[in-house]
Structure 1
Amino acid sequence: MLSMAPRAIVTRPAREAAQWVADLQARGIAACALPLIAIHPVSTPLLLQALHGARQRLPSYRAVMFVSGNAVQYFFDSNLPIALMGQAQTATKTRAWAPGPGTVAALRQAGLPTQHIDAPAADAAQFDSEALWQVVAPQIGPGDRVLIVRGGTTPGAEGGSGREWLSRQIAAAGGTVDFVAAYERGAPQFDADQQALARQAATDGSVWLLSSSEAVAHLAAALPGQHWGQARALATHPRIAQAAQAAGFGSVNECRPAFNEVAASIESLHEH
């Protein structure tokens, strides 16, 4: 019975986690949110200045790649209507690139027409930079400029080394890449209840839904000394699975980050 499926611990940033929890519960799967990445608007003067400049230069880019739904949300804030992106597209045929369906949904919600968005097919084996490049590579030639909008942490954040890999492909095709931080990512600050939940979920058969290698590192740092040999993880990318294994998770399974496949994988773990 679905009601007996193992509890899912959703570790995405708070805004995304809330929707995943609601959708999993609607399917009959027990789920709760324990965000392992904290998201904030950029606050340092240098990052704010760079973000403002990137917004003003939109018409000069052949494409703008958004690494996530958060990148969309914080780039198109209340001070920059989505119409500005539309103006850029009209002037220079600027495209919006998305690595997966969550980012596509955020772009649509922001008001961007579907015909201006490029992304891997819904049935792609993975939703990442490599899959995206297979779709958009023909767009880039000598002199083309691409803006990558991401979080203000390390270059490998939110997608491992994929963003750097994508920039190398663009450069090899003759294009140039600019990076801009639309938001800041950081480690969560667990309260007592969250710490208790995490420690219990490390041993009670809960399934940790992991969608970022960075999140795995934050979890290990938040619970120093915790043994993860009894913990079960469901990772949405091979790089994330490797991070979970390195952290000591006793059971690590992989699936695509599409909701139906994640839910089916959780149910399958219960059956086995």
Structure 2
Amino acid sequence: MTARAIVTRPAREAAQWVADLQARGIAAQALPLIAIGAVTDPALRQALRQARERFASYRAVMFVSGNAAQYFFEENQPQSLTQQAQTAINTRVWAPGPGTVAALRQAGLPGQRIDAPRADAEQFDSEALWQVVAPQIDRGDRVLIVRGTNTPGAEGGNGREWLARQIAAAGGAVDFVAAYERGAPRLDAGQLTLARAAAGDGSIWLLSSSEAVAHLTGALPEQDWGRARALATHPRIAQAARAAGFGSVTQCRPAFNEVAASIESPHEH
């Protein structure tokens, strides 16, 4: 019997991962550790409207996640926004991984317009994406990075800043826009009970964000994580889990089949 997997992605993504893992015969349960919602700050909302209007003026638009794509092309937006993105033939659309590609395709963007790391890439992140898209940038080109935000004015995570520096070094320029807000979830009593139990019952915590680790330890500041087992999908996330005190931390690529195979391999944990 496989150990229970605790899926900590945002709620929409977690539900899909749980369903896919359960279909594979893995006992999985969602415990979203990042809350996602539309931007509420008036200045951020105005900036988002302007970015949508200027979509076709960019050499490329990079979406940091499926949530970035979902909230940029949100369902209540006029169909003309997606049509503009489809017809902006000089604007490439960048995605760091397959989840973002899927969200962009769902929004109606044709696959031939989307650039992303190969399916067998070592990682799905800004570094892997840059290896694919670097030749596109010439002096004077502008790139829009669509991201989430924790606080108004924040400019995204370390990977986004790294990508912006590479674009600048190639002679380009970067604009950031927040399409959604990220924050700590409000865990209810049942979720807190689940988290405490999973800290020591052999459950495997599937960690796909360093931010999620911080939210977990913030929600349970007195919890001992020495018996907890984590599966991290990036070296930075693995480092955050170890710093939080997780007793067992392994790492794998964020591709579904590799995550599932790691969960199914007891000797790896």
TM-score (norm 1): 0.94
In structure 1, C-alpha distance between the alignment counterparts of 2:84 and 2:71, rounded to whole Å: 19
- Equivalent position of 2:24 in the other structure: 27
Matches within 5 A, 1:60-75: 60-75=57-72
Over aligned residues, Cα RMSD in angstroms? 1.5
Aligned residue for 1:43, secondary structure, equals: coil
In structure 1, C-alpha distance between the alignment counterparts of 2:89 and 2:170, rounded to whole Å: 19
In structure 2, C-alpha distance between the alignment counterparts of 1:182 and 1:9, rounded to whole Å: 27
Aligned residue for 2:146, secondary structure, equals: strand
Partner AA of 2:140 in structure 1: G
In structure 1, C-alpha distance between the alignment counterparts of 2:195 and 2:149, rounded to whole Å: 26
Tell whether the 8 Å contact from 1:156 to 1:162 is kept in structure 2 after alignment. no
2:136 pairs with 1:116: no
Query: Where do 4+ consecutive residues of structure 1 move more than 2 Å?
Result: 78-92, 154-157, 269-272
In structure 2, C-alpha distance between the alignment counterparts of 1:198 and 1:17, rounded to whole Å: 15
Aligned residue for 1:80, secondary structure, equals: coil
The gaps in structure 2 that reach 5 residues or longer are none
Matches within 5 A, 1:100-111: 100-111=97-108
Tell whether the 8 Å contact from 1:9 to 1:207 is kept in structure 2 after alignment. yes
In structure 1, C-alpha distance between the alignment counterparts of 2:82 and 2:90, rounded to whole Å: 10
2:207 pairs with 1:214: no
Partner AA of 2:189 in structure 1: A
Q: 2:91 aligns with which of 94, 114, 119?
A: 94
Tell whether the 8 Å contact from 2:73 to 2:81 is kept in structure 1 after alignment. no
Q: Cα 1:94–1:202, aligned 2, differ >3 Å: closer, same or farther?
A: same
How far did residue 80 of structure 1 move?
3.1
- Equivalent position of 1:13 in the other structure: 10
In structure 2, C-alpha distance between the alignment counterparts of 1:88 and 1:128, rounded to whole Å: 23
Q: 2:133 aligns with which of 103, 128, 136?
A: 136
- Equivalent position of 2:201 in the other structure: 204
TM-score (norm 2): 0.96
Partner AA of 2:178 in structure 1: A
2:252 pairs with 1:268: no
Aligned residue for 2:93, secondary structure, equals: strand
Aligned residue for 1:103, secondary structure, equals: helix
Tell whether the 8 Å contact from 2:204 to 2:231 is kept in structure 1 after alignment. yes
Tell whether the 8 Å contact from 1:7 to 1:206 is kept in structure 2 after alignment. yes
2:157 pairs with 1:166: no
Q: 1:150 aligns with which of 147, 151, 159?
A: 147
Partner AA of 1:90 in structure 2: T
2:254 pairs with 1:257: yes
How far did residue 156 of structure 1 move?
7.0
Partner AA of 1:202 in structure 2: A
- Equivalent position of 2:174 in the other structure: 177
